[in-house]
């Protein structure tokens, strides 16, 4: 009997999903706490002492989650030295897509020229990146794919309520991406814990036009019950870290680095206390970026790599939490390749550039072709008559 294509490796050697590329992109515009104080009644001292945030990045009108995600993705492909047509799957974790559909992942797939990739967005708020890495890992481990691009990209500045001082001060914009590749070498993603508690759906939410009841909230703008979310976060971070390390077969003292979602420095301090782990083992960059939701973990990971804080065989733990309520943790043994050994193949770099250029030309050509076809269609005398009839019918319908 024929075997289902895509699962042929189920009978072969076990596959491991390794992080082989990474990249990040943040807008150039910096908004400090003092800038924030010009918009809402707040001050630098309050924001710093309650959250640890000093500044955040804000997207300009030409930037979106898709454009930032695309930039981060091209850097990740460069590090992994992967060609766009070799990507099998693109997952974008985001709560700030430009459209309900097409997905942000569809746009990034098109701009990259990743012609053989499936692409979709994943909505699990600030836990989205860990959820997405786990989905891609499962696809690699099952043998159905070899190479995945996972992006966390957000433009939170578009959905915060700029009149609500308790939420707008917390968030910022940015994107991070990783390339995951299958390998027979043991290691990579070791374990993951995904959890949800929908009973807390009303503690942190953004309503779309499909919402049944607005309950006094503003359509398309974030609502948050900060105190309750704080309590939830401090509870689940240490619980899920304990669970995921146990599942990976290691102890808390084996953890070399924790890359947590960057929501509030006090949440990280509380987790460090409960786990009895030194604060030095927690990556924190929220003083410079604030909370970038699904983008915060991959951005923090990129910076930790750049700072030489991640070495071969290190055990990393990522932990995300937020709207849903959703939370997720993941344990990774850093495997191939060693960051110092990475350098993109020059020929492949040129090929990637050519593919991106071709993708742009193709997108423009398709738009032009569609516009031209419309001109031809509506210059046909039969269609002109049809259009007149339709217009008349519409006018008669009007009161
Ligand atoms: N500047 C100055 N004062 C502010 C303020 C601001 N930006 N925001 C709120 N306040 C005021 C409140 O109005 C309140 O004043 P009152 O006592 O006169 O009523 C006071 O500060 C205390 O407010 P409170 O909400 O109790 O502050 P807090 O210590 O709980 O801190 C958060 C608020 C939002 C920083 C905190 O709850 C938090 O970080 N929660 C978690 C949020 C989070 O991480 N969300 C994302 C999860 S992914």
**207: Cα separation from own chain's centroid:** 20
- Per-residue model confidence (pLDDT) at position 5: 39
Phi, psi of 396, rounded to the nearest 5 degrees: -65, -30
- Per-residue model confidence (pLDDT) at position 7: 36
- Ligand 1 centroid distance, CA of 365 (Å): 50
Q: Are 207 and 219 in contact (CB under 8 A)?
A: yes
- Candidate CATH numbers 3.40.50.720, 3.20.20.80, 3.40.50.20, 3.40.47.10; the one for domain 8-341: 3.40.47.10
Output DSSP code: residue 282.
Answer: B
Q: Are 216 and 340 in contact (CB under 8 A)?
A: no
Q: Are 127 and 92 in contact (CB under 8 A)?
A: no
What gap in Å lies between CA 71 and CA 59, rounded to an integer? 13
Which residues are CB-neighbours of 291 under 8 A, at least 6 positions away? Answer: 53, 126, 156, 170, 171, 172, 261, 262, 263, 264
- Going by C-alpha positions, the residue among 192, 197, 196, 311 that lies closest to residue 246 is 192
- Residue to mutate (ligand 1; options 166, 260, 262, 266; most atoms within 8 A of CB): 166
Angle at Cα 9 formed by Cα 6 and Cα 15, nearest 5°? 110
- Ligand 1 centroid distance, CA of 173 (Å): 20
Which residues are CB-neighbours of 176 under 8 A, at least 6 positions away? Answer: 22, 23, 24, 25, 72, 129, 151, 152, 153, 295, 296, 297, 298, 299, 300, 301, 302
The gap between the terminal CA atoms of the chain, to the nearest Å, is: 66
Per DSSP, the chain holds a count of helices (H) and strands (E) of 12, 13
Active site residue 291: yes
- Per-residue model confidence (pLDDT) at position 160: 97
Sole residue written with tokens 């019950």: 225
Q: Are 108 and 92 in contact (CB under 8 A)?
A: yes
- Which residues surround ligand 1 with Cβ inside 6 Å? 42, 46-47, 50-51, 126, 165-166, 169, 224, 226-227, 229-230, 233, 263-264, 291, 322
- Going by C-alpha positions, the residue among 230, 231, 255 that lies closest to residue 244 is 255
Given the residues 33, 106, 264, 291, the one annotated as active site: 291
Measured from the CA of 322, which atom of ligand 1 is nearest?
48
Nearest-CA residue for ligand 1 atom 47 is: 322
Each residue's pLDDT, cut to its tens digit, for the chain (399 residues) gives 333 333 344 556 789 999 999 999 999 999 999 999 999 999 999 999 999 999 999 999 999 999 999 999 999 999 999 999 999 999 999 999 999 999 999 999 999 999 999 999 999 999 999 999 999 999 999 999 999 999 999 999 999 999 999 999 999 999 999 999 999 999 999 999 999 999 999 999 999 999 998 888 999 999 999 999 999 999 999 999 999 999 999 999 999 999 999 999 999 999 999 999 999 999 999 999 999 999 999 999 999 999 999 999 999 999 999 999 999 999 999 987 554 455 567 788 899 999 999 999 998 998 899 888 888 887 888 888 888 888 888 777 655
- Residue to mutate (ligand 1; options 36, 43, 50; most atoms within 8 A of CB): 50
Query: Two tokens at 368?
Result: 């032009």
- Per-residue model confidence (pLDDT) at position 391: 84
- Per-residue model confidence (pLDDT) at position 380: 81
Boundaries of every domain in the chain: 8-341, 346-397
Q: Sign of torsion, CA 32 37 39 42? A: positive
- Ligand 1 centroid distance, CA of 166 (Å): 5
pTM of the predicted protein model: 0.90
Query: Two tokens at 135?
Result: 């989905």
Given the residues 261, 264, 302, 315, the one annotated as active site: 261
């Amino acid at each position: 009997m024929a075997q289902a294509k895509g699962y042929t490796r189920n009978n072969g050697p076990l596959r491991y999903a390794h992080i082989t590329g990474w990249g990040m992109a943040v807008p150039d515009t910096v908004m400090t706490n003092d800038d924030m104080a010009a918009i809402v009644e707040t001050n630098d001292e309050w924001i710093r002492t309650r959250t640890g945030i000093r500044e955040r990045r804000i997207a300009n009108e030409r930037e979106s989650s898709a454009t930032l995600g695309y930039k981060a993705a091209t850097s990740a492909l460069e590090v992994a030295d992967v060609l766009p047509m070799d990507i099998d799957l693109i997952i974008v974790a985001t709560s700030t897509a430009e459209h309900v559909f097409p997905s942000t992942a569809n746009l990034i797939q098109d701009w990259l020229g990743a012609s053989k990739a499936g692409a979709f967005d994943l909505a699990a708020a600030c836990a989205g990146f860990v959820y997405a890495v786990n989905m891609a890992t499962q696809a690699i481990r099952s043998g159905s794919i070899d190479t995945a691009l996972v992006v966390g990209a957000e433009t939170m500045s578009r959905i915060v309520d700029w009149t609500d001082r308790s939420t707008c001060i917390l968030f910022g914009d940015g994107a991070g991406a990783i390339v995951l590749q299958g390998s027979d070498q043991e290691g990579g993603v070791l374990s993951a814990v995904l959890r949800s508690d929908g009973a807390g759906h009303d503690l942190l939410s953004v309503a779309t036009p499909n919402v049944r009841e607005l309950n006094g909230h503003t359509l398309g703008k974030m609502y948050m019950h900060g105190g309750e979310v704080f309590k939830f976060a401090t509870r689940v971070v240490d619980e899920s870290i304990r669970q995921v390390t146990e599942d990976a077969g290691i102890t808390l003292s084996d953890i070399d680095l924790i890359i947590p979602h960057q929501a509030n420095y006090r949440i990280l301090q509380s987790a460090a206390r409960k786990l009895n782990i030194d604060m030095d083992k927690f990556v924190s960059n929220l003083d410079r970026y604030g909370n970038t939701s699904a983008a915060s973990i991959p951005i923090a990971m990129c910076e930790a790599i750049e700072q030489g804080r991640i070495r071969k065989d290190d055990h990393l733990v990522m932990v995300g939490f937020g709207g849903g309520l959703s939370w997720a943790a993941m344990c990774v043994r850093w495997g191939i390749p060693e960051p110092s050994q990475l350098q993109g193949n020059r020929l492949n770099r040129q090929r990637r550039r050519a593919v991106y250029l071709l993708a742009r030309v193709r997108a423009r050509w398709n738009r032009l072709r569609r516009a031209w076809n419309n001109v031809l269609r509506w210059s046909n005398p039969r269609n002109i008559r049809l259009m007149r009839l339709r217009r008349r019918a519409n006018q008669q319908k009007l009161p």
